[in-house]
Structure 1
Amino acid sequence: MKRILLRYIDSFSGLSKEVWWLALITLINRAGAMVIPFLSLYLTDNLDFSLQQVGWVMTSYGLGSFFGAWLGGKLSDKIGYYKVILGSLFLTGVSFIMIQFFTSFWSICISFFILIAIADTARPAFFVALSAYSKPENKTRSLTFIRLAINLGFSAGPALGGLIIASIGYYGLFWVDGITCIIAGIVMIQTLNPKKTKELDKEVIIDNPIPAYRDSTYVIFLISLALFGFIFVQYFSTIPLYYKEIHQLTEEKIGLLLALNGALIFLFEMPLIAYLEKTSISKTGNVINGLILTGISFLLLLATPWAGILVIGMIMATLGEMIAFPFGNAFALDRAKNGRQGAYMGLYSMSFSAAHIFGHNSGMQFIANFGYDNSWLMMALIAVLGIFLLYLVKHRLINEKRSINNQQSPA
Structure 2
Amino acid sequence: MPAARLGRAAREAVSGLPREFWWLWTSTLVNRLGAFVATFMALYLTLDRGYSASYAGLVASLHGLGGVVSALGGGVMADRVGRRPTLLLAQSATAVSVALLGFMTDPVAIAGVAFLVGMSANASRPAVQAMMADIVRPEDRVRAFSLNYWAINLGFAVSSAAAGFIAEFSYLAGFLIEAGMTAVCALVVFLKVPESRPAAPARKDEPQVGLGTVLRDGRYMAVVGLSFLVALIFQQGSVALPVAMGRAGFTPADYGLAIAVNGILIVALQIPVTRFIEHRDPRTLLVVSSVLAGYGFGLTAFAGSVGAFMATVCVWTLAEIVNAPTQTGLVVRLSPVHGRGRYQGMYSLSWSVAALVAPLMAGQVIDRFGATWLWATCAVVGTVAGLGYGLLMRGLRDRGAGGEGPGRGRGRTADGSGPAVTAAEHSPTA
TM-score normalised by structure 1 residue count: 0.90
Alignment partners' CA distance in 2, 1:300 and 1:177: 37
1:348-407 Cα shifts (integer Å, max 9, x gaps): 100000110101221122111111111111111111222232223113737999xx9xxx
Counterpart residue number, 2:90:
88
Tell me if structure 2 keeps the 8 A contact 1:95–1:115: yes
State how many pairs are aligned: 394
1:50 maps to 2:52: yes
Q: What does residue 354 of structure 1 align with?
A: 353
Unaligned runs of 5+ in 1: 405-411
Alpha-carbon distance in structure 1 between the residues aligned to 2:138 and 2:397: 21
- Counterparts of 1:52 and 1:306 in 2: how far apart (Å)? 30
1:267 aligned partner, one-letter code: A
How many Å separate the matches in 2 of 1:95 and 1:114?
A: 7
Aligned partner of residue 100 in structure 1, secondary structure = helix
CA displacement at 1:122 relative to structure 2: 0.4
Partner of 2:174: 173
Distance 2:352 2:322 in 1: 20
Alpha carbons of structure 1 residues 389 and 218: separation in structure 2 relative to 1, 3 Å:
same
- Equivalent residue in structure 2 for 1:230, among 229, 232, 241: 232
**1:268 maps to amino acid:** L
Task: Give runs of aligned pairs for residues 295-310 of structure 1, distance below 5 A.
Answer: 295-303=294-302, 305=304, 307-310=306-309
Partner of 1:182: 183
Map of 1:270 onto structure 2 = 271
1:5 Cα shift?
4.3
1:192 Cα shift? 1.0
CA drift of 1:334 comes to 1.2
Matched residue SS, 2:16: coil
Question: What is the CA–CA distance in structure 2 between the aligned matches of 1:73 and 1:153, rounded to whole Å?
Answer: 24
- 1:304 Cα deviation after fit: 5.7
Q: Distance in 1 between matches of 2:160 and 2:389?
A: 35
**Structure 2 SS opposite 1:295:** helix
With over 3 angstroms needed to count, the CA separation of the structure-2 counterparts of 1:7 and 1:305, relative to structure 1, is: same
Offset of residue 81 of structure 1: 0.4
Q: CA RMSD in A?
A: 2.3
Q: Is the 8 A contact 1:284 1:327 kept in 2?
A: no
1:286 maps to 285
Q: CA deviation at 1:39?
A: 0.7
Partner of 1:252: 253
For 2:121 and 2:303, the matched residues in 1 are separated by 42
**Once structures 1 and 2 are overlaid, which stretch shifts more, 203-212 or 384-393?**
203-212
SS state at 1:48 partner:
coil
The structure-2 alpha-carbon separation of the partners of 1:61 and 1:255, relative to structure 1 and needing over 3 Å to count, comes to same
Do the aligned partners of 1:209 and 1:338 also contact (CA within 8 Å) in 2? no
Change (3 A) 1:9 1:67: same
List runs of 5+ in structure 2 lacking aligned partners.
406-430
Q: Which runs of 4+ in 1 moved over 4 A?
A: 201-206, 398-401
Quote the sequence identity (%): 26
Residues 212, 339 of structure 1: 8 Å contact kept: no
* Structure 2 CA distance for partners of 1:399 and 1:163, relative to 1, 3 Å: closer
Could you tell me how far apart the structure 2 residues matched to 1:123 and 1:261 are? Answer: 22
The equivalent of 1:334 in structure 2 is 333
| Equivalent position amino acid for 2:70 in 1 | G
- AA matched with 1:39: M
Report what 1:73 is aligned to. 75
**Are 2:103 and 1:101 aligned?**
yes
Question: For residue 219 of structure 2, what is the amino acid of its counterpart?
Answer: T
Name the CA distance, whole Å, in 2 between partners of 1:249 and 1:51: 20
The residue that corresponds to 1:394 in the other structure is: 393
Partner of 1:28: 30
- Judge conservation of contact 1:287–1:325 (CA < 8 Å) in 2: no
Matched-pair contact (CA < 8 Å) for 1:132–1:203: no
Aligned counterparts of 1:322 and 1:361: Cα–Cα separation in 2 = 26
TM-score by length of 2: 0.86
Is 1:156 the equivalent of 2:158? yes
Aligned equivalents of 1:400 and 1:182: distance in 2? 37
Task: Write the letter of the residue equivalent to 2:336.
Answer: K
SS at 2:291's partner residue? helix
Q: Deviations over 1:110-160 (max 9, x none)?
A: 211112111111010001111112111110110011111111111111222
Partner of 1:125 in structure 2? 127
SS at match of 1:237: helix
Who is 1:15 aligned against? Answer: 17
CA–CA distance in structure 2, aligned partners of residues 367 and 161 of structure 1 = 30
C-alpha contact (below 8 Å) 1:217/1:396 kept by paired residues = no
Q: Deviations over 1:206-261 (max 9, x none)?
A: 92145111111111111111111101111112112323432x44433322221211
CA distance in 2, matches of 1:71, 1:323: 28
Which digits, 9 at most, give the CA deviation of each residue in 1:18-70, with x for residues without a partner?
Answer: 11111110111111120111111111112222222222211111110011111
